[in-house]
Structures are given as C-alpha cells and as structure tokens.
Amino acid sequence: MPIYKVKLKSKQEIAAGTMAFYFEKPEGFAYKAGQFADCTLINPAETDTEGNMRAFSLASAPYEDFLMFATRMRDTAFKRVLKIMALGTELTLDAPYGSFTLHNNASIPAVFLTGGIGVTPVRSIVLQATHDKLPHKIFLFDSNNRPEDAAFLDELTEAQKENTNCTFIGTMTQMETSSRAWHGETGFITQAMLLKSIGNLTLPIYYIAGPRVMVQAMREILNEAGVNDDNIRTEEFSGY
C-alpha cells in the first residue's frame, strides 16, 4: 500500500470531547467507504508507549474532496499533539485498509449498529450510498450517552431525508445527564428495538462498529435472534 503525506486543512469540535480533522486528499488516493487509515505523527513534540501511530476510520466519503477522521480527544500524547497541530502540518497516512464496506447485493438490507465514535466509518458509507443513489435499504442504530456526545447526529438525521432507503435510529443511554431535548429512542440497542424497524432479523447483513464491549454485546443480541455469524461484520475500535 502506498504511503501518503497529508496536510491538515482544518479541525473542528463536532461533539463533546470529540474532534474532526480534515486533510488534503492526495492526488490519486482512492478508498472505499468504511475503510481506515494508519495515521502517524511526524516528529511529534511528545510521544508515549503507545507510539506515534493510530488507526482511524476515514469518516469522509470517497466522493468528498477532503479526507477526514474524527476521534474522542482523550489525554494521550498522540491526541495532545493532534489537538494543537498547526494547520498545514503533515502526517503520514498508510491507507486504505479494511473490509468494513457495504455489500454489493442491494436486495439484502444493511443494518449498522454503532456505539459512540464507532459511527465514523458509517458516516462515510451512508453519505456515499446517498450520493450514489444506491438502492440498498439501510438502517443505522447509533447509540450514545447523550445527544451532546453524538458525532454527525444532524448530518445522519438529514441523510435519511435525501435517501428514503435510509432509516436513522439514534438512541441515548444517559439522557438524565443531558441538557438537550431528545425525541428519539433511549437505552441500549435491544432485540426489541431492532425488531420494531427491521421485522425479519435474519435477512440483513449487520455491521457493528465501536468499542470491544459494545461489539460483543451486539453480536450476542444478534446471535440470540438467530442471526448467522456469516452475516455479521465488525470493526472493533481498539483503545476504548
């Protein structure tokens, strides 16, 4: 895989403690929605035992003219450097990798189950499917503590207006700590919540993205509902 150097164009807080970083897209760089990049800091001012490299999903969609990833800004050397990185600074991108990409057969629905920052590859997939007017039925169940924590909430809510094949179901697990109004689902993603929107749970291909515990919990729910492991694809965000 070729290695690219990419320049930081802008950065923005997109949810509580969560930032998106936008980079120039190198000439000839091609990727599929849902893939990820290994990002390495070049000569950072500080480093720690985890090193200067992290894997990040490309949250930008391939049709967009920039590359973007989004991350929870925890207090690690890598993220401290990233947070204060001057615009124009370069980092190294080893990419694209991964097969967390939408299946081809449009007669099979796609169900995405995301936890927190696990929504990043799914932003790319949903926006690209909408742009390409793909006929796939898409359901996105996106779980967060509070609306304040939910990255891309407005964008994904809007996407279903443009793409009538797409249904966005946000759910909040700690609304008692929120100061925002929320009229959607609350609590963890359950089999009952899935059944309400999907009906036959054994038909779709499922895509789970998020921290390991969340991925495991979702797989258990699906297995209990009779979903075959062959129809479950996962992206585990190590480090959370």
Ligand X SMILES: Cc1cc2nc3c(=O)[nH]c(=O)nc-3n(C[C@H](O)[C@H](O)[C@H](O)COP(=O)(O)OP(=O)(O)OC[C@H]3O[C@@H](n4cnc5c(N)ncnc54)[C@H](O)[C@@H]3O)c2cc1C
- Chain positions 154 to 213 lying near ligand X, rule: CB under 6 A, are none
Binding residue for ligand X, selected from 55, 85, 106, 175, defined by CB under 6 A = 55
Residue 175's φ and ψ, nearest 5 degrees, are: -65, -25
How far apart are CB 3 and ligand X at their closest, in Å?
17
Q: Applying CB under 6 A, does 15 fall inside the site for ligand X?
A: no
Which residue lies nearer to ligand X by CB, 50 or 220? 50
Which residue lies nearer to ligand X by CB, 39 or 134? 39
Distance CA 59, CA 25 (A): 13
Q: Which residue is nearest to ligand X (CB)?
A: 239
Q: Applying CB under 6 A, does 238 fall inside the site for ligand X?
A: yes
Which residue lies nearer to ligand X by CB, 60 or 198? 60
Distance CA 217, CA 188 (A): 10
Number of residues that bind ligand X (CB under 6 A): 23
Contact map string, positions 101 to 120, toward ligand X, x by CB under 6 A: ----------------x--x
- Chain positions 65 to 94 lying near ligand X, rule: CB under 6 A, are 69-72, 74-76, 78-79
Which residue lies nearer to ligand X by CB, 81 or 198? 81
Binding residues vs ligand X (CB under 6 A): 36, 50, 54-57, 69-72, 74-76, 78-79, 98, 117, 120, 235, 237-240
